[in-house]
Structure 1
Amino acid sequence: MPESSSSITRRTTRFTRRLLAAVLALPLSAVGLVVGAAAPARAAAGTGTTASVTLGDSYISGEAGRWKGNSVATGGNRAGTDRSWTGSGYDPSRIYGSTYASGCDRSDVAEVRSAPTVAQTQINLACSGAVAANVYRAANGGQSFKGEAPQADQLAAVAAQYNVKLITLSIGGNDLGFSDVIETCVKDYLVWYSYCHDDQQGEIDSRMPGAMAGVGKALDEIRAVMTNAGYRAGDYRIVLQSYPSPIPRSAEMRYSESGWTRSNTGGCPFWDGDADWARDSLVPQISGELGKVAAAKGVQFMDLADMLQGREVCSTATRQPTSTSAPSATTSEWARFVDGGLNSSQGTVQESMHPNYYGQQALGQCLTLMYARPSGDYACRNTAGRDASGMYLVAE
């Protein structure tokens, strides 16, 4: 549990200050075609080249796809984890393309790209940091974001050019202020020596109705776009997905909450009580509410709350790669650690707490499995000791 201020010397090292500064910018990290060919000529709705489209925020755009696990190594390819290493420097655009400059961070292994068998073309319209209003059509209150038109307006152009078969949406986390929760919990661990969950639960509860209303409107906007493009209800499917927990419960943390290892080695600076709350209360609560929205709007729901079980940052079932132990989908973490402090030279802070290269491949397999189920709601989970091929669905 948190140590009392009277029993501990306040930790005001440069590391602490740098780590705190780093977490201040955490977001939940438009037409982004992920295929190189030019779009085909306009076709009648429901005909032509098939397409799978993703919309929403960073948990589906591909944020953190740069990383194969986490390592404290600071040079070169960082023990094999940094895919942007060129041999002489770092080039994140190799992973995120032109969207690295804008901050949308659509990776080459984003969920839709890791599910290539769903449709002939994979199109990623999601953007890191997006809220529900960035999905709505401009004519209905939608807002442009990072230099791109609202995602529903971009979808209209895609629907006119392709035969859209599947639309997958991840939205609501930024409307709930999830990055604010992370920032507060990290501060409470490093500076205030108090739990964050007692006050943050109230913040989440107060924002939940508005956030879920926004998710519902986003689904309505998507449907309106498809109807206006001439699609019938049976021509395509919509899947709303939830969020996985990037950190484990306290009993499954491989570092003690006392000392510095959770901060400067593991990249998981959270108290046991806050980790338990996030893993077993907050994430399930958000999934439950999103599931209700999906049911109310008549779309399929994919529950990802347990998708990273045993693969989270600092999980006892994983290990960090080293110079003598390469990254592996079966042993490495599937989410990005809090990138700050001693690790501030690695990548960008907004990649923190997102599914990484391995996690995104797993999400792609979840989507592939989901597409094979034309109806019903499912939770997607992993099989211990296996890579993305071990993902499976459980009916809800």
Structure 2
Amino acid sequence: MFIQLGDSFGVGEGAGWKGNTNQSAGDRLGTDVAARYHSDLPGWTYHPETYVYQSNTYRELDGHWGTNPCHRAYQSPISYVKGWGDQVLNLACSGAQSKHIWPASAGGVEQHPGLKTQLDQLKDAVSASSDVAMVAVSVGGNDIDIPAFDKPGFGELVVKCIESFVHTHYPDGFDPQYCNDEIAAGVGDAVSDVFYNQLKTIDLVRQTLAAEGHPIGSYKLVLTGYPSITPTDESDWFGAEGDGWANHCPIRKADSRYINTHVVSRLNDVIQAAAEEKGVGFINMEEAFDGHRLCEAGTVRTASAAHPESAEWVRFLDVDDTINPLWEGIKSLLFGDSPDEWKSQQLRSQRSIAESFHPNSYGQKALGYCLRTYYNDDLDNSLQRCHIAGTGSSSTPDNMVTSTRAALYKATDDPADSVTIGYPLTRTLTVPSSVPAGHYFQWLPKITHPSKGQLKITLQAPDGTTFMLRDFNFEDTGDFGNGTHTSNYTGDPSGTWTLRIWDGISSHDEGTLDKWSLKLF
């Protein structure tokens, strides 16, 4: 059994398209997997509930078919891993956050009325006799909660960037705006929180399966990162930025670069950090769509779009391009909390607005081949990056390969004997100049102390920046325990990092520092 948990990048959102085209009639130049032609009336008909998504997870405005809009696709990434006769259990759901995976007993919440959390569904679906081979988890993008945004989620980020594009290119007079101005202030903390959600998710997956007779080590557990879906370099786009609405990719080029380098890269790094801490596998998908990203130079939207080597592997913004984008990007694409089925109808989408900016059929297959390689090559608990091996006519999803990805930089101070905490205890670690600047540092301590509130702890970076890891709080009793502290740090990490620990009780003899580590990424 191959199990998928997570969000739209695991569920297969967008799998019903082989490339993009503005042609809305017929089979959309061969790109629409759901299109079927009948020689008698009504001619062309469309059946995503039959040919793309499990019928109970695809819902239209009139309520037909689905009890929920999870959009569980038949050709999701996990479907490419299974062999003949193997079972796939895709419990992911489009729009899911980590809390929609966790059991209700551990703080999980229903994503849709009557839909159990994913691990509660898993509990019902497996038993000791189930042959669980692999669990893939794709989640975190919708956990990003930036203070300037109305609600959490990567989709909210995209909407804000569309608004900035419209303000820049469409109002009377030029009113340049960048969504990265809103993102920058809160993205560091927002993405770092994903790390702790990942740790909890890993623990709860293991606990759920162990309770059903599947101990740690009896199956592969792998976290998957996120791909860049639009180009990073301005020279990699086709068309002028102002043509973005007509081209169905209304994102400012500088905003796209910022998202890739400051959001997608951070997200992949924190997911990797969680995988390393828990000893599970990780696949970085950041480069998986290179050469086939949305509006990337060299891709086509003619009849050739139905061929993977020349197509985009990401679904474009599924909005009728004759609709005027004014009114703040059609009021944030018609009100963020409205049902996708209603928005799709108002925006005259070819199918569903929810599919926009997600991997299409080719993208799903590419991600699936990354997972399949990981499984078939027995890359258990390893760190991998997935990318296209071929070029030209060989630049297809069938030619995805994985390569070993380096572990995040980690330095450890491990004294031969535990060191008594004084007033203060000072310890240092030196980071070599070969370590590049990143986004975060993590402090991983092992401290023995009966009353954590007695401790004040700081960490000073080589540039003199001092971080307060904890302050005195004598009401905070109990053992110190161990954990991970994550902070934003984008400076040059090379040089001496200085840890200072104060014990606020005069005896200074109750606690010891056993060791500590510094991780940079």
Q: Distance in 2 between matches of 1:332 and 1:349?
A: 20
**Cα displacement string for residues 110-141 of structure 1 (whole angstroms, at most 9, x for unaligned residues):** 01112223981111110001110110011111
Q: Secondary structure at the match of 1:301?
A: strand
Determine if the alignment matches structure 1 residue 317 to structure 2 residue 330: no
User: Unpaired runs of 5+ in structure 1?
Assistant: 1-50
Superposition map of 1:245-284 within 5 A: 245-249=228-232, 250-258=234-242, 261-264=243-246, 266-284=247-265
Look up the match of 1:366. Answer: 370
Percent identical residues: 30
Q: Which of 92, 100, 103 is 2:58 aligned to?
A: 100
Q: Which protein has the bigger strand share?
A: 2
Aligned-partner residue type, residue 313 of structure 1: L
TM-score, normalised on structure 1? Answer: 0.83
Look up the match of 1:30. Answer: none
Aligned-partner residue type, residue 122 of structure 2: L
CA contact (8 A) 1:52 1:119 kept: no
Superposition map of 1:135-154 within 5 A: 135-146=101-112, 147-154=114-121
Q: Distance in 2 between matches of 1:378 and 1:131?
A: 24
Q: Distance in 1 between matches of 2:313 and 2:33?
A: 14
CA contact (8 A) 2:316 2:356 kept: yes
Aligned-partner residue type, residue 58 of structure 1: S
Q: Secondary structure at the match of 2:290?
A: coil
- Cα 1:77/1:313, change in 2 over 3 Å: same
Look up the match of 2:46. Answer: 90
Q: Secondary structure at the match of 1:187?
A: helix
Q: Distance in 1 between matches of 2:275 and 2:137?
A: 11
In the TM superposition, residue 326 of structure 1 has moved relative to its aligned partner by 5.3
Look up the match of 1:81. Answer: 31
Determine if the alignment matches structure 1 residue 167 to structure 2 residue 125: no
CA contact (8 A) 1:321 1:332 kept: no
In the TM superposition, residue 218 of structure 1 has moved relative to its aligned partner by 1.2
Q: Secondary structure at the match of 1:74?
A: coil
Q: Secondary structure at the match of 1:86?
A: strand
Which shifted more, 239-248 or 140-149?
140-149
Aligned-partner residue type, residue 186 of structure 1: I
Q: Distance in 2 between matches of 1:205 and 1:280?
A: 12
Equivalences, count: 341
Q: Secondary structure at the match of 1:302?
A: strand
Look up the match of 1:46. Answer: none
Q: Distance in 2 between matches of 1:117 and 1:362?
A: 17
Q: RMSD of the alignment, in Å?
A: 1.6
Aligned-partner residue type, residue 367 of structure 1: L
Look up the match of 2:177. Answer: 194
- Cα 1:326/1:69, change in 2 over 3 Å: closer
Q: Which of 178, 200, 210 is 1:217 aligned to?
A: 200
Superposition map of 1:103-142 within 5 A: 103-117=69-83, 120-142=86-108
Which shifted more, 346-355 or 119-128?
119-128
Q: Distance in 1 between matches of 2:260 and 2:298?
A: 16
CA contact (8 A) 1:80 1:321 kept: no
In the TM superposition, residue 333 of structure 1 has moved relative to its aligned partner by 0.6
In the TM superposition, residue 354 of structure 1 has moved relative to its aligned partner by 0.6
Q: Distance in 1 between matches of 2:382 and 2:225?
A: 15
TM-score, normalised on structure 2? Answer: 0.63
Look up the match of 1:66. Answer: 16
In the TM superposition, residue 362 of structure 1 has moved relative to its aligned partner by 1.0
CA contact (8 A) 1:310 1:384 kept: no
Superposition map of 1:352-363 within 5 A: 352-363=356-367
Q: Secondary structure at the match of 1:113?
A: helix
Q: Distance in 1 between matches of 2:223 and 2:254?
A: 30
Q: Secondary structure at the match of 2:47?
A: coil
Q: Distance in 2 between matches of 1:65 and 1:309?
A: 18
Q: Distance in 2 between matches of 1:214 and 1:306?
A: 24
Q: Secondary structure at the match of 2:2?
A: strand
Look up the match of 2:473. Answer: none
**Cα displacement string for residues 279-327 of structure 1 (whole angstroms, at most 9, x for unaligned residues):** 23321111111110111121101100111111101111311133xx351
Look up the match of 1:391. Answer: 400
**Cα displacement string for residues 376-396 of structure 1 (whole angstroms, at most 9, x for unaligned residues):** 110010133322221001101
CA contact (8 A) 2:91 2:118 kept: yes
CA contact (8 A) 2:102 2:201 kept: yes
User: Unpaired runs of 5+ in structure 2?
Assistant: 38-43, 60-67, 145-152, 169-175, 323-347, 406-521
Q: Distance in 2 between matches of 1:171 and 1:238?
A: 14
Aligned-partner residue type, residue 263 of structure 1: W
Superposition map of 1:320-331 within 5 A: 320-322=301-303, 325=304, 327-331=306-310
**Cα displacement string for residues 118-171 of structure 1 (whole angstroms, at most 9, x for unaligned residues):** 981111110001110110011111112223211111222333152111000001
Q: Which protein has the bigger helix share?
A: 1
Q: Distance in 2 between matches of 1:201 and 1:290?
A: 20
Which shifted more, 77-86 or 62-71?
77-86
Q: Distance in 2 between matches of 1:332 and 1:90?
A: 22
Look up the match of 2:154. Answer: 178
Q: Secondary structure at the match of 2:298?
A: coil
Runs of at least 4 residues off by over 3 Å: none
Which structure has more relative contact order (CA 8 Å, sep 6+)? It is 1
- Cα 1:359/1:154, change in 2 over 3 Å: same
- Cα 1:345/1:239, change in 2 over 3 Å: same
Q: Secondary structure at the match of 1:89?
A: strand
